[in-house]
Structure 1
């Protein structure tokens, strides 16, 4: 429900990489939706084994070893709940590798913890493995120098499925109005992304002018 609308127009044979695929659930979902060339990598042998057991094409590898060997290889790279586990030094190495791994006009789809969310302390301090917390603005600051553009951001809030979901959507909108009122009083600013996590969709240039 969350990611498919952002890549639904890709060719079903388009190569897609799930960075940090875990047990392969997202890759398996993409396969069920017709994406025949989706694959994943993960640094956990246990998770890769679980992914392979469910029929997912998954490989034990880290980004710094895998991506340099796959330049211009993917129409989309997905990084769901992954980036917050990299240090700033590692992110400085990762950014250009992600850009190089994408085909021209390829998509980078990220979900990460939101440092500007309604309760940011729980994503900053609630997990000892969280090393870098982004906001939509700082994520752009990281990616733009490597050539990424056409940034779009989305919340990961309630999904209007069944009555409970529809009620939660309405309540969330009211909560955002109140949160923006408080922020406007304090800083004169407002924001659109308040959820604990957020999604970013960015693109590689149609033609890389650096080549």
Structure 2
């Protein structure tokens, strides 16, 4: 997660300084948590992972290094990443991800100067940016991509029945998008509508998890049946988007 912090006295700044202490989230340092997290990534990203494992990949706001660890173990060799939290960077280094740096995602255009990437992952970061900065952030990512390079986004789905909980369950969340407004944001950022794909984030790795996903689909259809043609089609808590630079 990344956000420009001008003072550690504000709420967001204090949370980022003590993020791991406050969130108490399991990390891939824990073997059981790692197994579950990697299975989740395998399901949600399996069709979007590049075949060529030598491509240059950047993980924006890499957190505790879960995705980078997953990619490293899948054989991807040309990885980069950064995060605003010193605690998260320290955890990444403990995991052997010594290339991870402390950096602000809102200044992405200054990261490693003119270096460009084949794939940029921006998972669980968009919702932490002020809405006024979101378009600039997407434009900066596009400029960091090589021609035909790919951006992969994951962000909470405000069209989900869990949208209110997702939006306000984290004090650092600033705004949210639906499948429609996410597409609009990507178009504003310079991506071509014909090269954008938005899909549900199915990530369950157990039989019980799959059952919950089926239940969620049914419940979503029942709740939004009165909305008609304008109803949200994607029921999952998170949206995933893939966009290619023309």
**Same fold flag (TM > 0.5):** yes
Work out which of the residue numbers 94, 117, 136 in structure 2 matches 1:74. Answer: 117
In the comparison of the two structures, how many residue pairs are matched? 200
Q: Does 1:5 align with 2:50?
A: no
State the match for 2:149 in structure 1.
106
Equivalent residues of 2:135, 2:189 under 8 A apart = no
What are the Cα deviations for residues 142-185 of structure 1, in whole angstroms up to 9, with x where unaligned?
121332131111212453x443244334333322332342332x
Equivalent residues of 2:108, 2:141 under 8 A apart = no
State the match for 2:79 in structure 1.
38
CA 1:158/1:24 → structure 2, altered by over 3 Å: closer, same or farther? Answer: closer
Corresponding residue SS for 1:35 = coil
CA 1:95/1:54 → structure 2, altered by over 3 Å: closer, same or farther? Answer: same
Q: Distance in 1 between matches of 2:208 and 2:114?
A: 45
State the match for 2:56 in structure 1.
15
State the match for 1:183 in structure 2.
227
Corresponding residue SS for 1:12 = coil
Deviation, 1:66, is 4.3
Corresponding residue SS for 1:50 = helix
Gaps of 5+ in 2: 1-41
Work out which of the residue numbers 39, 42, 55 in structure 1 matches 2:96. Answer: 55
Gaps of 5+ in 1: 206-211
TM-score of the aligned structures, taking structure 2 as reference length: 0.74
Corresponding residue SS for 2:48 = helix
Work out which of the residue numbers 207, 215, 222 in structure 2 matches 1:171. Answer: 215
CA 1:119/1:44 → structure 2, altered by over 3 Å: closer, same or farther? Answer: same
Q: Does 1:117 align with 2:160?
A: yes
Corresponding residue SS for 2:230 = coil
CA 1:16/1:70 → structure 2, altered by over 3 Å: closer, same or farther? Answer: farther
TM-score of the aligned structures, taking structure 1 as reference length: 0.85
Corresponding residue SS for 1:6 = coil
Q: Distance in 1 between matches of 2:113 and 2:46?
A: 24
Range with bigger deviation, 163-172 or 17-26: 163-172
Corresponding residue SS for 1:183 = helix
**RMSD over equivalenced CA pairs, Å:** 2.0
Deviation, 1:52, is 1.1
CA 1:38/1:4 → structure 2, altered by over 3 Å: closer, same or farther? Answer: farther
